[in-house]
Amino acid sequence: MNTTPTLLIVDDDARFRERLSAAISARGYDVRQAASSVEATAIVAEDPPEFVVLDLRVGESYGLDLIETLKAADPNTRIVVLTGFASIATAMDAVRRGATHYLTKPADADEILAAFDQGRPATTMAAATTMSLDRVEWEHINRVLVDCGGNVSEAARRLGLHRRTLQRKLAKHPRPEAT
């Protein structure tokens, strides 16, 4: 019986995936890689891993949608979600769906492995402090904008705002990057 822990990296960035794979393999893990949700699903169906590093955006897919498949294959699978643009809304969604932890990129192998070792579901962003109203509004706008694929006109329609009003709000903050 193989006692080496298995870890799956699901990320569409090949360079990042390769470097992380090498670093985690050097720490004694049997690492598998997937560049898409379809590849990840096939790997999980064959042999569910004990640990998963999951990018928030995997190509055109929303990585968090994969959590249900991972947990159905093995409810004990520990999942760390990575993203290039963190938001409290997505961190809470990841944990609610079953992720163990949520980290922002760049995260190194040691940070990721430490996140798996934490005994309670948590996020690096989940502070006990209450967010300001401006921050809550920005998080909501960000989420709707990401859901609309960056289309400001569609996001304004969904938010019930005039397009120019939304553009002024967005000008105050940098726009999120899709990861």
- Write out pLDDT tens, residues 112-158: 898 887 644 444 444 334 456 676 777 778 778 888 888 989 989 99
Number of neighbouring beta carbons within 10 Å of residue 39? 16
pLDDT at 176: 46
What's the mean pLDDT in 55-81? 87
pLDDT at 27: 92
Classify the C-alpha dihedral 85-89-93-94 as positive or negative.
positive
Q: SS3 of 81, please?
A: strand
Report field, pTM of the whole predicted structure over 0.85: no
Mean pLDDT of the chain: 81
CATH numbers and ranges of domains, the chain: 6-117 (3.40.50.2300), 133-171 (1.10.10.60)
Query: Quick one: pLDDT band at residue 33, thresholds 50, 70, 90?
Result: very high
Report percent pLDDT > 70 for the chain.
Answer: 84
- Strands 78-83, 101-104: parallel, antiparallel or unpaired by DSSP? parallel
